[in-house]
Structure 1
Amino acid sequence: MIVVKTVGELQNVVKEHRQGGARIGFVPTMGALHAGHLSLVDEAARSCDLVVVSIFVNPTQFNNAADLENYPRTLDRDVALLSGTACRLVFAPSVAEMYPEPDTRVFDFGELDKVMEGKHRPGHFNGVAQVVSRLFDMVRPDMAFFGQKDFQQLAIIVQLVKQLQLPVQIVPCPIIREADGLAMSSRNTLLTPEQRKIVPVIAKTLMESCNFAGHRSVKEVKNEVTATVNKSTGLEVEYFDIVDGFSLQSIDNWDKSDYIVGCIAVFAGNVRLIDNIIYKKK
């Protein structure tokens, strides 16, 4: 496995493989890797010849300076984890390498980035679009793999590829969970032992809500999920919305869409966790 830190080194290695007929798979990450990330690498290896993983904490997608500062950075550990996978090339650039000049591009995603994460983290998805489009331009992958835990981000990236007419196939991959149901996330490492014992209630509540979704009104399900999570000391729901899985707009009736997803953001102290559950998909 090769670790490179410059765009030139990255493109030289990718070019060599591509000239040999290799299909390029790409897994962009912000590091602090866990089994969820490794599952993306495994999925990429099933259909690609060269798997590239980027590790870069992107400053333009953070609207909270403290969140950026506290985001875990564990490059040596990440590289060690990847060495046991099908990954053959790691791109770990500096901020100066990624942004030799400020990126002032502003993207228009219509209503996709105005709700949920976009509403509570203004500018976040514009920063995501900036870094992902840059990475796609640098790596030029045939396929790119993203986890469905970041459900709204995935929708944004699909739209980004359409807008820029990029020749890359976006592959959504299932949420990977801990044994107690907690969605794997790099932010989980920031939880205290006490918080870690409590947070599985988020996934548990979402999964249990599937038992009565459709039998109760959308509003009742939203209220029930929010109240149940908030009952746990130390947890506070920032939002829970039930949306059309394509438009990401709120629905008020189970018959309004054939693809319905519940998306939640919860604070455990200062640690912000997100998760989602699919209620309906045809």
Structure 2
Amino acid sequence: MLTFRMIKSLTQCLRGYRSSGLRVGFVPTMGFLHAGHRALIDESVARCDITVVSIFVNPTQFGPNEDLDRYPRALEADHELCRKAGVSMIFMPDAGEIYPPGFQTHVEPGPVAEPLCGAVRPGHFRGVATVVTKLFAIVQPDVAFFGQKDFQQCAVIRQMVRDLNLPVEIVTVPTVREPDGLALSSRNSYLDPADRVRARCLSQGLLAAQVAYGEGEQDSQRLLAIARSLMNEVDQLQYLELRDARTLEAVQGLVEQPAALCVAATIGPTRLIDNVLLIPPPTALSDRELELVSHVMGRQATAGAQGSPPL
């Protein structure tokens, strides 16, 4: 496994592999890797000849009062996880390598970045879109892997790739959860033991609504009420919304097309996000919607079509 800190060295090495026709997979991360990241890496290693993992805490996606300075870091453990998983290269630049003096060009995402986290974290997805575009230009991967837990981020990146004609296939990998249902996140390390117990209510609410949907409940307001009724242990519920899985437009009335039930909440000082997919039975979907289920939602879509996937 090779480690690079400079763009020039990485691109020179990758050029040789690419000229040999090898398929390059890319997993962009901010480090502090856990089993959720490992799932992305495993998917890349299985599908591609070369897997590149970037570790870069991107300053442009953090707001003025957010956790940039205290974002968890564990470089030695990250390297060991990557080595054991079969990663070919780690790209670990500093901020000055990605944003050199005089940097002034940014990628502005469109309406898909405006609701949900975009509404409560102004500028966040501008930073995400900019750094991902730069990383794609540096690595030039054939395939890039992202986690479903960051569902809106995946939607923003997919739209960006389409709009800018970037030659990258985007693969969404289902959320990895703890045995009690909590979605894995680097920020879970902020939770003290009591808050960690309280945080379970997020997945409990989401999965209860997903089960109800699988049993035939389609009314969006009743589904939201089911989820909300189990989330009374949060300190602040920033949003709990049903959104069209492709456009992220709000779902009104009956849920008859693939949808994402998304939540963001604070537990103590920690902000957590999570989501589940509500997928109509395949016989109720158009060809376009079946394609969405297959390509946007990954393996979990099939598992979730009749209810919630096993924890």
Whether TM-score is above 0.5 comes out as yes
2:222 partner letter: E
Note the alpha carbon deviations across 1:168-198, whole angstroms, 9 max, x for none: 1111111111111111111111111111122
How far the C-alpha of 1:215 sits from its partner, in A, is 2.7
Q: Is the 8 A contact 1:26 1:141 kept in 2?
A: yes
Match of 2:222? 220
Q: Give the equivalent residue in structure 2 for 1:71.
A: 71
Structure 1 match to 2:308: none
On the 8 A contact 2:182/2:199 being kept in 1, the answer is yes
The aligned runs of 1:1-282 (5 Å cut-off) are: 1-101=1-101, 103-213=103-213, 215=217, 217-229=219-231, 231-232=232-233, 234-255=234-255, 257-281=256-280, 282=285
Q: Equivalents in 1 of 2:10, 2:226: separation in Å? A: 49
Q: Cα RMSD between the aligned structures?
A: 1.6
Contact 2:260 2:277 (8 Å CA) reproduced: yes
Q: Give the TM-score normalised by the residue count of structure 2.
A: 0.85
- Report the 3-state secondary structure (helix = DSSP H, G, I; strand = E; otherwise coil) of the residue aligned with 1:264: strand
Q: What CA distance in whole angstroms lies between the structure 2 residues aligned with 1:102 and 1:92?
A: 21
Query: What stretches of structure 2 of length at least 5 have no aligned partner?
Result: 286-311
Structure 1 unaligned regions, length at least 5: none
Deviation at 1:63, TM superposition (A): 1.3
Flag the 1:121–1:66 CA change in 2: closer, same or farther, 3 A. Answer: closer
| Rounded Cα–Cα distance in structure 2 between residues aligned with 1:169 and 1:216 | 32
1:102 Cα offset (Å): 5.2
Residues 78-124 of structure 1: CA deviation (Å, up to 9, x unaligned): 11111101201000000000100354335443320110010011100
1:18 counterpart letter in structure 2: R
**Aligned-partner residue type, residue 115 of structure 1:** P
Aligned residue identity for 2:268: G
The whole-number CA distance in structure 2 between the counterparts of 1:239 and 1:105 is 31
User: Which amino acid is 2:221 matched to?
Assistant: K
Deviates more, 1:77-86 or 1:52-61: 77-86
Amino acid at match of 1:129: A
Residue-pair matches, total: 279
User: SS where residue 54 of structure 2 aligns?
Assistant: strand
Question: Could you give the per-residue CA deviations for residues 206-258 of structure 1, whole angstroms, max 9, x where no partner exists?
Answer: 111123345363223323422421x22x5421100001111101111125x41
CA shift for structure 1 position 64 = 3.7
Paired position in structure 1 for 2:288 = none
Q: Hey, what's the Cα distance between the residues in 1 that align with 2:252 and 2:102? A: 41
Q: How far apart, CA to CA, are the structure 1 residues paired with 2:50 and 2:211?
A: 42
**What is the rounded CA distance, in whole Å, between the counterparts of 1:216 and 1:143 in structure 2?**
35
CA shift at 1:31, angstroms?
0.3
Measure the CA separation in 2 of the matches of 1:63 and 1:102: 21
2:199 maps to amino acid: V
SS of the equivalent of 1:134 reads helix
Contact 2:145 2:172 in 1 (8 A): yes
Distance 1:15 1:106 in 2: 26
The 8 Å contact of residues 226 and 237 in structure 1, kept in 2 or not, is answered as: no
**How far, CA to CA, are the matches of 2:105 and 2:263 in structure 1?**
29
